Amino acid sequence: MTTDDFRPEKKITTFYPPQRILMGPGPSDTHPRVLAALARPTLGHLDPVFTDMMEELKGLLRYAFQTANLLTFPVSGPGSVGMEMCFVNMIVPGDKVVVCRNGVFGGRMIENVERCGGIPVVVEDKWGEPVDPQKLEDALKSNPDTKIVAFVHAETSTGVQSDAKTLCEIAKKYGCLTIMDTVTSLGGTPIYMDEWGVDAIYSGSQKCLSCPPGLSPVSFSERVANLVKGRTEKVHSWFMDINLLLGYWGSSRTYHHTAPTNSLYGLHESLVMLYEEGLEHSWARHRRNHEALKAGLKTLGIEYVVAEPYRLPQLNSVHVPAGIDEKEVRRRLLADYNLEIGAGLGDFAGKIWRFGLMGNSSKIEKVIFCLDALEHVLADLGMKVERGAAATAAHQYYAANPMPA
């Protein structure tokens, strides 16, 4: 035996990814300013210069979530870790939790409740439809011992937005704490954490924040902080225990785990960009690009899955036109145009496409490019289209609807 026995046989050299345009359900295109930030010198995670940056980061996240919560910080891990963190800290075995499910991510919430020893009560809505507030109210009426209500604000699997404000009001009326998934909504769609009275919120870096995947901003109300402090039973996760993590993200700055310093520079930069742009401007930009894409798709006879009032501007789910091989379209877009769009998940697999217009992918030039490439591929596959119509419709929308100053 020599060490060479374990050397890969294939010659391996530096990995150079191709430059794609990411217009699927996430990740979105990382902004060049974020990529530049990621490449800056690594600091120790207890370096005072770094911890000053962490304080700024927390302030910028409070702005993004519209909250004054002191317990606001990015967790080291993807959105799924943020999700798990909420459930594992807030549930003790035997707790009843109402979970609203209208897509993939609500299903994952149920899985989390079960793994934490909680008792899930499921409020079910059809894929492609928002959570029905009446069903939530009915579930709480018949389960008055419910402790927590959990729901997804923006269901990325279907492109639906639920009425978070109303759902939170109902939860409050029945004395419940709320957990809200904002992985796809943060930065793209209005969120008012404090005004709506959300208790626990989590998001992800790779959707409307234009960062690479791997960080999950979270925020917890005072009520959650007290609940976790008052637990007699240890949180069933060492890594995600808020009480322990606070030693690092709080004022004492003691070692918990080695924070991913460079990734945090990236998140800081993306939040600086959001702060410079302004939340309202970012929401309006996402909406405007959605409307332009919609105008273009209409010329191709492509129809939306979700009814107009519940559509997410940043995630456009549409029916694949009859007789079109949806996989072949995605393959050609990627191979010939370096353009990634999303396929359907679960019940929607093979039936829909998902066009993401998130963060740095929510741009005029990308919308126009996407429509033109799609139109060409569909024409090539035999669909009758009027060449140039899709992009033209989008141009006309933009011309008639300038961005507010």
Ligand X SMILES: *Cc1c(COP(=O)(O)O)cnc(C)c1O
Judged by beta carbon, residue 79 or residue 313, the one nearer ligand X is 79
Say whether residue 80 binds ligand X (CB under 6 A): yes
Query: The tokens of 37 are what?
Result: 């930030």
List helix spans (H) across 91-221. 104-115, 133-142, 164-173, 193-196
Q: How far is the CB of 291 from ligand X (least distance, A)?
A: 22
Judged by beta carbon, residue 211 or residue 274, the one nearer ligand X is 211
Q: Which of 74, 118, 120, 204 touches ligand X by CB under 6 A?
A: 204
Query: The tokens of 131 are what?
Result: 């959570």
Say whether residue 79 binds ligand X (CB under 6 A): yes
Say whether residue 183 binds ligand X (CB under 6 A): yes
The residue range among 56-64, 77-85, 172-180, 303-311 that interacts with ligand X, by the rule CB under 6 A, is 77-85
Say whether residue 78 binds ligand X (CB under 6 A): yes
Q: Is residue 33 part of an annotated ligand binding site?
A: no
**Which string of x and - marks every residue 92-131 that binds ligand X (by CB under 6 A)?**
-------------x--------------------------
- Integer-rounded Cα Rg, in Å, for the chain is 22
Query: The tokens of 208 are what?
Result: 């409307």
Burial class (CB in 10 A: 0-12, 13-18, 19+), 323: exposed
Total residues contacting ligand X by CB under 6 A comes to 14
Burial class (CB in 10 A: 0-12, 13-18, 19+), 69: buried
Query: The tokens of 249 are what?
Result: 């993200």
Q: How far is the CB of 234 from ligand X (least distance, A)?
A: 25
Contacts (Cβ under 8 Å, ≥6 apart) of 352: 305, 317, 318, 319, 320, 343, 344
The residue range among 41-49, 75-83, 276-284, 362-370 that interacts with ligand X, by the rule CB under 6 A, is 75-83
Residue in 84, 78, 151 with CA at minimum distance from that of residue 111: 84
The CB-nearest residue to ligand X is 79
Residues in binding site for substrate = 354
Contacting residues toward ligand X, per CB under 6 A: 26, 78-80, 83, 105, 152, 154, 156, 181, 183-184, 204, 213
